[in-house]
Structure 1
Amino acid sequence: MHDILIREATPADAAAATTVSETAFAPLRSIYRPTGAALARQAERAQAGTRIVAELDGPIVATVQYDLHADHIHVIGLAVHPDFQRKGIARQLLDWICIQAKKLGQPAVVLDTIRETGNVPLFETLGFRITHEETATWCVSETYHELHVVKLERLV
C-alpha cells in the first residue's frame, strides 16, 4: 500500500504542481482550450486561492486549488498525473477540501467542468450533483461546435 499525503502547497512545490497540471490537462486540450481572457482570469485566481498537493511516496502526483466564497468553496483545476489516475487520489483531494469546508462552516463544495470531457460522471461518483449547465463562452474547441460548462455541487 502506498502512502498518499495531502497537504497545502508551499512555494517550493510550484514547479512540480505546474508540471502535474500541464501533464494532466494535456489530453483535454484536444477537447477544449481556455481563451486568452480566461487564462488571465485563472492567473489572477491562482494568486488568491489555496493550493493543495498530493504526494505518493514522496513526489507530487496531484494538485488542486480552491477559494472561499460567501456560501461555498470553489474547486479549481483538479489535476492528477495520468500515471496515477484511478487510484483514489482525486477522491482524497476532494474529501480533504470537504473537511476544510465543514471546518469553515461552508455548506458546499462547488466545481465546474466541461461536459464534453466526459468528467461529469466521475464527479457524480465522487458525490457531486449537477446544479447548472450552460454554453461555455470562456473556451474554444476545434472538435466540438459548442461546449457546455457544468456546475456541480457536493454538500458537506
Structure 2
Amino acid sequence: MYFKIIGSRVQCIREQVSKDNILSEKVVASFDSHLTQVAPHVAAKLTIKEIEELELWLKERQTLKHRSSEYHLLEMLPEIISEANFTLSNLSYLDKKTIYKLNHAIESFTQNLNRVNSKTGIRFNHRETMNKKQALVDKMNEVKRYFIEPNNESSSKEVRTGI
C-alpha cells in the first residue's frame, strides 16, 4: 500500500503481484487531504496492516507540516520584532507585568538562539543585551515621567522590571 496526494485528495493505492509476476495497482479508497486521522469510510476498505501504515503516514505528514510551520515562524520573527519595536517606540506607557514578560521572553530567546548558533562561534553579548534592555527601561521611565506623572514630583517615577 502506498498513498498519493492528487489535488486535495489522498488516494490509498494497493499494490498486488499476480501469479505471472505482474504488478497491478488499485485505488482502494480516497479521502480529503486535510484529514489527520483515518476516516471510518477509509478504514472500512483497508486491512488492519494498511490502516496502521496509513496512521503512520498521516502522523509523519503532520510532523513535517508542523516543522515547516515552526521554521516559517522563525523566518517571520525579525519582521514581527521590528513591528513590535515600532509599536513600543510610539507607546507612552507599558504596564510592569508586560515589561517583565517581554524581558523574560527576550532573555530566554537569546539563550536559545545562542545555543543553536554555538556551532558558528557567533554569540550575542549578554552584557550588551542587558544594556539595551536598561536603555529601554530608561526610555520608558522618561516617557512615564513626561506623560503619566507630569505634576506628581513626590511619587516614584521608576518602572521596575519584574512582578
Q: State the TM-score bracket (shorter-chain normalisation).
A: under 0.3
Instruction: Give the TM-score of the pair, scaled to structure 2.
Output: 0.24
* Structure (1 or 2) with the greater strand fraction: 1
Structure having greater relative contact order (Cα 8 Å, sep ≥ 6): 1
* Structure (1 or 2) with the greater helix fraction: 2
The structure that has the greater radius of gyration is 2
